[in-house]
Amino acid sequence: MKSRLKTGQKVQGAEIVCESLLRHGVSVIFGYPGGANIPIYDALYKYPELKHVLVRHEQGAAHAAEGYAWATGRPGVCFTTSGPGATNLVTGLADAMLDSIPMVCLTGQVPSKMLGTDAFQEADVLGVTLPVTKHNYLVTGAGDIAPSIYEAFHLATAGRPGPVVVDITKDAQANYAEFAEPEIMPEFNKKIKTDATADELDSLALLLNNAEKPLIIAGHGVLLSGDGKSLLKVAESQDIPVTLTQLGLSAIPHDHPLFMGMPGMHGAVSANRAPLEADVILALGMRFHDRVTGKVSAYAPQAKIIHIDIDPSELGKNVVPEIAIVGDVKTILNRLLPKLKKRKNPLWLDRFKLWKKEEEEKVINPELNADILKSAAVINLLSKETRGLATIVADVGQNQMYAAKYYCYRKYNSHFTSGGLGTMGFALPAGMGAKMADPDREVWIVIGDGGIQMTLSELATIAQEKLDIKIALLNNNYLGMVRQWQELFYKGNYSQVRLKNPDFQKLSEGFGIKSEKADNLNSAGQAIKNARDFKGPYLIEFVVAADENVFPMLPAGAGIDEMIISKADMK
């Protein structure tokens, strides 16, 4: 983008903010103005290249920035004012931190002379956000704005990505300083280890070449590395079955014969049974999250584990590997490939066929062929209508699991969701961010009736921006996942999970968004067609079974060997 300022030109700090963003290739900002950042908004008037999206709540700004980053791989950017504006970002920052999403968040702060006085709308933003960011800054001088923003963009993407906060006092925004392109800091030239050593590669290849039952578990790190093709080449060279964690979904096409589903609490039978029989597990860009492993002591005790991750702190944190390699997944896999012996493994793959058949008979077929409309059938319909090529931005709860299990993702990096933090309300603003990042994407937000009411106000932003986003609202009038646990493990004591919902059609109409309701398979299919044919935002309320449960599942604290495949298997 064309720069506006010349080196040595004296301007207000607020203009330096805009110029710094422009020079970092920023084109979209999600934010909300207030007293402590109004100078930045005044300067923004001079920078029409920086499109600002006025969200309705600062949490929405953070999640929208996450969706933008998911879709582009570049940091999402958001603005807020001081005090409550900044603290409203915290959930989004924590979400991005756990899921390795790059973000740069610029918050206004009270004038520097008023810091620590409990001034109006003052909050210790550094103290509040320190645990949920890679780094944060308090900028009190206009001359420090450009260097701080420069460092923030570097840190947000270096190594394992994450969010960075730059808190800028109001006087720093208003005062004048000479603009200068920051020099590269010497410490930024220090290279992060991205490749395996020759010895590490040889050890890795030796284990895989001698494995009889190898298994690949790939996570979000594969998507962040930017290439699922390398993963497929390694898997295909030795017929290695691949499972993808929730945040790794869409790294390879889900209709590929080597894809064996998602592991974990509500994962596939094959994906959870395989670690109990595999002799070598190649773990790529995943962190052995408790939702994947279940009880760690019971997780794959017989397997030799190879763990590759860009973040050294993840290696050995939850599961102790035989080989631990710090590095970039794509780089290492491409160097590993020539060292692998090409071979077929029909007997091992036959085991997966049996596991898949068991799940189809006990779970999938009953879900898809029920007499009443079920969420699984809705997502299956959506998958067929879009041919698995849409981007699905899933919320949290039962709807999230159905989106993970019943949509056949055929397009790389097309599944976005809140994994580590599990933030209800994530999907509505995140889907908005994803669409603004890539208008050519067909974006479907899959969300529950509980989650949508967490960030419902962002429907106004979607309408104002005239975004061509489709919303699949799975309405069972319950907080479905909590209700499921209460049914199965708390004697059916349904405490505070029944929802008295609004009329979602009238609500949509109030926001100026077209909508319709579907309560059976035929109307559901037609509604999806209608939404896809319509240019603009469209909400479909799917009235699904109130008492539906997501299976298979692992009870809390159980090992993967204690997986419950269907309700009939419960004792």
Residue 148 and residue 137 in contact, taking contact as beta carbons nearer than 8 Å: yes
**Catalytic residue (one of 121, 229, 356, 465):** 121
What are the strands of the beta sheet with 280-284, ordered from one edge? 242-244, 214-218, 280-284, 304-309, 323-326
DSSP 266-302: T--HHHHHGGGT-SEEEEES----HHHHBSGGGS-TT
- CA gap 463, 392 in Å, rounded: 19
Q: Which two tokens stand for residue 401?
A: 């699991």
Q: Which two tokens stand for residue 28?
A: 């979209």
**Catalytic residue (one of 30, 59, 170, 398):** 170
Residue 250 and residue 184 in contact, taking contact as beta carbons nearer than 8 Å: no
Q: Which two tokens stand for residue 231?
A: 């993963």
How many other C-beta atoms are found inside a 10 Å radius of the C-beta of residue 226? 14
Q: Is 58 a catalytic residue?
A: yes
φ, ψ dihedrals at 203, nearest 5°: -65, -40
Q: Is 464 a catalytic residue?
A: no
- CA gap 427, 469 in Å, rounded: 12
How many other C-beta atoms are found inside a 10 Å radius of the C-beta of residue 318? 15
**Catalytic residue (one of 15, 19, 58, 151):** 58
In 3D space, the residue among 56, 61, 66, 27 whose CA is nearest the CA of residue 44 turns out to be: 27
Q: Is 426 a catalytic residue?
A: no
Q: Is 385 a catalytic residue?
A: no
Sign of CA dihedral 45, 47, 50, 51: positive
**Catalytic residue (one of 1, 6, 49, 120):** 120
Residue 234 and residue 262 in contact, taking contact as beta carbons nearer than 8 Å: no
How many other C-beta atoms are found inside a 10 Å radius of the C-beta of residue 548? 22
**Catalytic residue (one of 401, 481, 553, 563):** 481
- CA gap 442, 389 in Å, rounded: 8
The single-letter code of the amino acid at 455 is T
What does DSSP say about strands 10-12 and 176-178: parallel, antiparallel, or unpaired? antiparallel
Q: Is 121 a catalytic residue?
A: yes
Q: Which residues are catalytic?
A: 58, 120-121, 170, 481
